[in-house]
Amino acid sequence: MMMMMTTTTMTTTTTLLGLVLGVASAYITRTSHRLTPTTSRRATRVDAPEMKYRVAVIGGGPSGACAAEILAQEPNIETVLFERKMDNAKPCGGAIPLCMIDEFNLPEAIIDRKVRKMKMISPSNREVDIGETLKDGEYIGMTRREILDGYLRDRAVEFGAKPYNALVTKIETPTTPDGRYVIHYSPNDEGKKGAKKTLEVDVVIGADGANSRVAKAIDAGEYNFAIAFQERIKITDEQMAFYEDLAEMYVGDDVSPDFYGWVFPKYDHVGVGTGTVLNRPAIKEYQDAIRARAGKKIEGGKIIKVEAHPIPEHYRPTRVRDRAVLVGDAAGYVTKCSGEGIYFAAKSGRMAGEAVVKCMA
């Protein structure tokens, strides 16, 4: 989720990411010289076989895909990208800032709607326009996560990342300085679970979300979280015309005691949702309230998908340990006031990939 984000907020968060991943670089540098990389079948010279390190990126959302894309371009690194469900669509408002489109070279085809008007709606239903600071040509991109994530994953694979459609069930950490991580996973090709397998790797990037198994494996600590709940609602063409380039944000104790409710336009439907930290058990009551507040604008709509997911409230106590790095939601890189995490997920994933390349290439 995301609507308004200041340049100061983005700069500060990016600076913190840089500091954290600088620490990651230092950890990896200290340990990588002790590793014995795998030998590739390819060779740069007949008498000098190319030595490769293997990096496992666990999680195929924006953070994992952007990390894998960077790693896959380094010939001395074998990149494995784990995603439990390749058509997975994380519950998410799906809004991304304009800067992300240019910075990550995203095609406009993945943008469902260009939001140029935003309304904040008070508990008494008084409407305030909050999008007036947008300049000509500026907009907030509305995406469906299955489209955005799929595009980023496919691009990483095109660069050479090896996709593993599998559920990672356990990560064994090294017991010696030059040891490897052991990834336990269950293949899920064509929707069928296969026999459990293992894979040894030199570095792990945990991009596996708020319930990160990588975080548990490295004892990264816990964080508080919000629950976000969203319904995708198919409405009439006439109703969709109202949301052509408009997004709405509702505030009030009826829709959330500590967050906001939203109606975000998508390709052929709207995402209607809310979130809370303070009273997570009441999330469905808040969802009923946001639908009621939207009223006739979505009246008669058909719910085509129901989604719920935890959103981090702050960073994990530890985001780097030895040769394991957390990125995106797994690390807690989310803007607390808005719930925005897509840009910071992609940014932290890319920075982690660059740090690993710098140290191990």
Residue 211 has a CB neighbour count (10 Å cut-off) of: 12
Distance CA 284, CA 290 (A): 10
Q: Which residue has the higher pLDDT, 325 or 189?
A: 325
- 339 pLDDT band (50/70/90 cuts)? confident
Residue range 344-357: mean pLDDT, rounded: 96
- 190 pLDDT band (50/70/90 cuts)? low
Of all residues in the chain, what percent carry a pLDDT higher than 70?
A: 83
282-285: long-range contacts, CB 8 A cutoff, minimum separation 24: 283/227, 283/229, 283/308, 284/229
pTM higher than the cut 0.95: no
- 131 pLDDT band (50/70/90 cuts)? confident
pLDDT of residue 192: 67
- 51 pLDDT band (50/70/90 cuts)? low
Residue 226: which residues within 8 A CB-CB, separation 6 or more? 259, 275, 276, 277, 280, 310, 311, 313, 339
CA distances from 357 to 56, 72, 160, 161, 173 (A): 13, 10, 15, 14, 21
Mean pLDDT of the chain: 86
Query: Is 60 exceeded by the pLDDT of residue 305?
Result: yes
Indicate the SS3 state at residue 37. Answer: coil
Sign of the four-CA dihedral 144, 207, 199, 36: positive
141 conformational bin, left if phi > 0, alpha if psi -120 to 50, beta if neither: beta
pLDDT of residue 213: 97
Q: What is the pLDDT of residues 222-271, one digit of tens each?
A: 988 989 999 999 999 999 999 999 999 999 999 999 999 999 999 999 99
Residue 105: which residues within 8 A CB-CB, separation 6 or more? none
